[in-house]
Chain A
């Protein structure tokens, strides 16, 4: 009896973590920057577009963010948070800066931070199976579990770029209550998501 020859096991190529990719970017490896782009650009673009409600500006923001990651790659400290957390913060901050510049130019407020912050159903430009994957589902479920008042305060803070006072005024709620809602909402979200640094 002879056994059919079996092909040797394919070598396992470990997928580098984001932090390793960024370390390589710091050493001039553009391909690693491309890999980071492939992993996170869609989510970052979705975030920017959600805040700005403008494709072109959202793409400009994503472009700026990846160049900022490249420029500051050497100073990245993993102890302070993941690469994605850092990139998302850069994206949010740049998008909100653009929204505020629009407001100063007297543009219509309706172009940014729409009242419906769109957690009902995804309505993106293209159906992307990756974005409907586990992480997105988990996040939506987690957000759905938050009490409405906590969710609203978090949305206005994170996507709307409002100050504490603006959130309190918009929700006609005392400032202390808003602070408490943000605290409880974010702590609850952390617990539900079981976020790891």
Chain B
């Protein structure tokens, strides 16, 4: 009884789909099990029957003769037999001409031997041609197998390159996501009673030690004043200077890129204060915006 696994392998084998170790292992089973061989024979026949269902097409009428002509060149030529009348004529000549006849007979025999030898040589040549054709056929099959192997190798290389490229993309995407995950984004609310609508958003990248501050509805300042950004660390150290900025006089908006005056390990809050022109080394003026 053939189990399902062998049935499956028999079907794959019948379609030349088994490769490598699978094929070698199955061929061992095939050699040992007549029932399996019979199954493969039947499945190969079923597969071959698929050919009958292909769209009908006729080869050119010249193909038949081309096939048979090629087949004839691969056949050894039969040895030629001397027609009887030639011997009779040679014998008659010898009888009527004596020595000349004897000489003619001897020459005729030598000619016959030469013809036989020529026929043998021709047969040997044809045999060699057949062997050469078979060798070329084997070489062609070998080339085909080599080509297939090379094609498979190229396919693997392409797949590997594609996989590597895809992996690089994934890694870049993950790194990008990691960057986004590490960003600190904080909104700042107004602490000043007369400008409650003032707002700001600070985006801080601790890896690059840079950030962007976007401000809206903040009143424009006189020429001798500046807004100044501060970064507050969680451990309560002195606020770190993030630089001065001014808003658009019409819209009250500003978008500034800031870089603190020293490295910041961790930011707890952002703050904006009102300072003298050019800012101050430490906060002196009132805080107008504070991170939430």
Chain A residues engaging chain B, CB cutoff 8 angstroms:
28, 30, 33-34, 37-38, 41-47, 49-50, 55, 58-59, 62-64, 66-68, 70-71, 79-82, 84-85, 88-89, 91-93, 97, 100-101, 103-104, 118-119, 121-128, 131-132, 135-136, 138-140, 142-143, 154, 157-159, 163-164, 179-180, 182-183, 185-187, 189-190, 193, 195-197
Interface residue B107 (Cβ < 8 Å from any Cβ of A): no
B153 → chain A closest CB, angstroms: 11
Using CB atoms, name the residue of chain B closest to A64.
B137
Contact A127 B56 (CB under 8 A): yes
Q: In the complex, given contacts A62-B59, A139-B49, A163-B19, what are 17 additional A-B residue pairs having Cβ atoms less than 8 angstroms apart?
A: A34-B64, A37-B64, A41-B59, A42-B58, A71-B133, A85-B45, A97-B148, A119-B53, A121-B55, A122-B56, A136-B53, A138-B52, A158-B15, A159-B54, A180-B8, A186-B15, A189-B47
Complex-state Cα separation, A109 to B16, whole angstroms: 21
20 A-B pairs with C-beta separation under 8 A: A28-B75, A28-B76, A30-B68, A45-B58, A45-B63, A50-B57, A59-B63, A63-B66, A66-B67, A66-B71, A93-B16, A104-B154, A126-B58, A136-B53, A143-B53, A164-B12, A183-B8, A186-B46, A190-B43, A197-B41
Q: Which residues of A contact B49 (CB under 8 A)?
A: 135, 139, 142, 189, 193, 195
User: Do B53 and A49 have beta carbons less than 8 Å apart?
Assistant: no
Residues of B close to A124: CB separation below 8 A: 55-58
Tell me whether B130 is interfacial, beta carbon within 8 Å.
yes
Residues on B with beta carbons closer than 8 Å to the beta carbon of A38: 64
Question: How far apart sit A55 and B62, CA to CA, in the bound complex (Å)?
Answer: 13
B244 on the A face (CB < 8 A): no
* A47 to B144 alpha-carbon distance, docked (Å): 20
Are B56 and A67 in contact, with the CB atoms below 8 A?
no
Residue contact B12 to A179, C-beta cutoff 8 Å: yes
Is there a chain A Cβ closer than 8 Å to B70's Cβ? yes
B247 within 8 A of A: no
Q: Which 10 interchain pairs have the tightest Cβ spacing?
A: A124-B56, A131-B56, A88-B48, A139-B53, A124-B57, A47-B51, A50-B54, A190-B46, A139-B52, A183-B11
- Which residue of B has the minimal Cβ distance to A180? B8
Number of A-B contacts (CB under 8 A): 203
Q: How far is the CA of A161 from the CA of B43 in the complex (A)?
A: 17
Cβ-neighbour of A30 out of B43, B48, B55, B71 (below 8 A)? B71
Q: Is B50 an interface residue (CB 8 A)?
A: yes
For B7, the chain A residues whose CB sits under 8 A away are 183, 187
Q: Are B64 and A81 in contact (CB under 8 A)?
A: no
Instruction: Flag if A46 contacts B55 (CB, 8 Å).
Output: yes
Q: Please provide the chain B residues from 100 to 132 with a CB less than 8 Å away from any CB of chain A in the complex.
A: 130
Min C-beta distance of A186 to chain B, whole Å? 4
Asked whether any CB of chain A lies closer than 8 Å to the CB of B17, the reply is yes
Closest chain B CB from A172 CB (angstroms): 17
- B63 pairs with A63, CB closer than 8 A: yes
B225 at the interface (CB under 8 A from A): no
Return chain A residues, CB-CB under 8 Å to B130. Answer: 71
B126 CB, nearest partner CB in chain A, Å:
12
Q: Are B56 and A132 within 8 A (Cβ)?
A: yes
